[in-house]
Structure formats: C-alpha cells, structure tokens
A = this chain, B = another copy of it.
Amino acid sequence: MKITILGNNSALPAYGRYPTAQVIDIMDQLFLMDCGEGAQMRMQQFKVKSNRINHIFISHAHGDHYLGLVGFISSLSLLGREKELHLYCPKEIKEIVELQLPWDLGFAMIFHLLEEGKRETLLDEEKWQVKCFPVYHSVPTHGFIFIEKKRKRILIPNQLQQYEIPKYFYAKLCEGEDYIDKFGDIVKNDWVTQQGHPDKIYVFAADTRYAPEIIEDISGADLFYHETTYTAENSEKAKMRFHSTAGQAADIAKQGLVKKLIIGHFSSKYKNLQAFLDEAIPVFEHTELAMEGQTFEI
C-alpha cells in the first residue's frame, strides 16, 4: 500500500505547494483522495498512472479539495477512457461536476453521495475496503479509511501432513474454511493454519478541528494523515476556522495509537515547515511532513 502526496497546502497555494490531493495505491488499484487544483499536473509530474484510478473520494465541498476534479475527469475522457468512474462525494460536488461536464464523456460517472455525519463502508472488495467517518469542519466533511485486506491464513506444513489434507484444499484453508475428511470428521481450520498478516490501514482525516470524536475511527492505523493548517501560535485562528494545529494532530495520533502520522494542509503563512515538526514530534514521535511527490509505504 502506497500513499503519494500530490498537494499539501491549504486553500491559498503558496511556495510552490498545491492544494490537497493524494493517490492511494493498493496492489496497483489507485484511489484518488481529494483533487485540488493542479492535481492532474502533479500526477503527470510524479508519473501516477491516472487511468488506473477508478474511485475518487472528495472529503468536502471546499474548492481546495475539489477544484482539480473537472479538469481531471475531462482529461480522462480526452485520453479515451471507457471504464466507469466512481465518485464518493457530498451532493454539491455532483451538481458542480454535472453542470460543467453535461456531455458524453465516453465512460459512466457513478456518484455515491456521502451523507453528513454518517459512518459507512463505501467499498468492500476481496482485497480492499474503504470506509468513511465524519470529521468536524465548517461544512459537512468526511475522513476515509483505506484497508488492504490481508485475511488469508498461513498454512502450518506439519499439521497439514498430520491431518492428511489434500493439496487441492490448501487454498480454501487459507480462506478460513474447515476441512471435512473422508470419514466425515471435521478438521478445524485453526488446527492447520495460523493467523496471516494483519490488514494494512491508511486513514485520511481531511480538514477538521481538534476532534477526539474520531479516535475510535483512526485507532490502530498504520499510517494516519491529519491536517495541520497552523502551529500553536495560531491556535485561535485554527479553532475559529475548524482547523487544527500540529500539536493537536499529534495528540490525536497518540490517542489513536497509530503507527505513523503524516501532516499537511499547511497555511500559506508558513514558508518553512520545520515548526510543524518541532511542535508535533514531542507529542507524537513518529510524525513526518506530507511533502509533495513523496510516497509513504505501508
């Protein structure tokens, strides 16, 4: 599972930093998380195979999270895409996209509207799952949980021999099935297999005020993105605008027992970003800046 940062700035682009957009790669299936202005240019720059994106998630209807969407969809159409494209977004985004792209694109756009305040499983495929949860911003906003499933159990060779399990059944054992032998006796799955690797989990918490309400949602994430529009000296501004400081993001990460925190959505006030790390790391050690062009691997 790989997360590539396309944009890490807040609303006003600054110092070459672009607004929010990320690409999540789960076994070559790409997911686009937010699509700020210029996201498609960044994809080209960072050699993201944009036609592999089948699912786009828009956290909320603020321009710096969606203004690259119409251009990106147009480009997919110009590139001859035929495969359907799924958009998970607030209702405002559907209206905005449909107003600007009323013609036949050559592929179906399928909108899945996110309901304010709702926790939901949006996608549940064999190898991956995507869920959403509410975060607390000035407009209805969702965070997203991307899960690479690692459910397959691992065979225990000695036990397989002992219970004389035929090879053709090994795949089913990995899926968790019990085996019934020729005498009708049950060989319990966990006698011959052991637990596989745990799922890989990336949580994107979008734009939000300091919100302990989300701790359960982010709990145990391998990688956790939290916005840090400001540092503590602007904490009043953060509060007023439903944004967070670096210290607050780190505190949420710590409470959520995540493995690693990445921070972004930096205000244009900040040219140098070191202050964000200086504030976050004493609270939560495993913090990194979500720099554009950088790929985080789980």
Q: Which residues of A contact B (CB under 8 A)?
A: 11-14, 16, 18-19, 37-38, 40-41, 44-45, 63-64, 67-68, 70-71, 74-75, 78-79, 95-96, 99-100
Q: How far is the CA of A297 from the CA of B139 in the complex (A)?
A: 46
CB distance from A48 to the nearest CB of B (A): 13
A-B contact pairs, 30 of them (CB 8 A): A11-B74, A12-B75, A12-B78, A12-B79, A13-B40, A13-B41, A13-B71, A14-B44, A16-B41, A16-B44, A16-B45, A18-B41, A37-B37, A37-B38, A37-B40, A37-B67, A37-B68, A37-B71, A38-B41, A63-B70, A63-B71, A63-B74, A63-B100, A64-B71, A64-B74, A67-B67, A67-B70, A95-B99, A96-B100, A99-B99
Q: Given B16, B71, B78, which contacts A67 in the complex, CB threshold below 8 Å?
A: B71
New A-B contacts (20) at CB < 8 Å, excluding given A12-B79, A37-B41, A95-B99: A11-B78, A13-B40, A13-B41, A13-B75, A14-B44, A16-B44, A16-B45, A37-B37, A37-B38, A37-B40, A37-B67, A38-B38, A63-B70, A63-B74, A64-B71, A67-B67, A67-B70, A67-B71, A96-B99, A99-B99
CB-defined contacts of A14 to chain B, threshold 8 Å: 44
Q: How far is the CB of A21 from chain B (nearest CB, A)?
A: 12
Residues of B within 8 A of A64 (CB): 71, 74
Residues of B within 8 A of A70 (CB): 63, 67
Q: Tell me, in angstroms, the Cα distance from A18 to B38 when the chains sit together.
A: 9
Distance to closest chain B CB from A122 (angstroms): 25
Chain A facing B: main interface SS: helix
In the bound assembly, the distance between CA atoms of A266 and B208 in angstroms comes to 41
Query: Bound complex: CA of A41 vs CA of B17, how far in Å?
Result: 9
**Contact partners of A75 in chain B: CB under 8 A:** 11-13
Cα separation A18 to B18 with both chains bound (whole Å): 14
**A268 — nearest CB in chain B belongs to which residue?**
B78
Contacts of A68 in B (CB 8 A): 37
Taking the nearest CB of chain B, how far is it from the CB of A100, in angstroms? 6
Give the residues in chain B near A95, CB-CB below 8 Å: 99
**Which 6 pairs across A and B sit closest by C-beta, in order of nearness?**
A37-B71, A38-B38, A67-B71, A12-B78, A63-B74, A13-B41
Contacts of A45 in B (CB 8 A): 16
Task: A63 to B74: give the CA distance in the assembly, Å.
Answer: 8
Q: Is the CB of B44 within 8 A of A13?
A: yes
- Complex alpha-carbon distance, A232 and B247, angstroms: 59
A70 to B67, CA, bound (A): 8
- In the complex, residue of chain B having the shortest beta-carbon distance to the beta carbon of A39: B37
| Min CB–CB distance A139 → chain B (angstroms) | 11
Task: Name A63's closest neighbour in chain B (CB-CB).
Answer: B74
Q: Roughly how many angstroms separate A14 CA and B12 CA in the complex, as a whole number?
A: 24
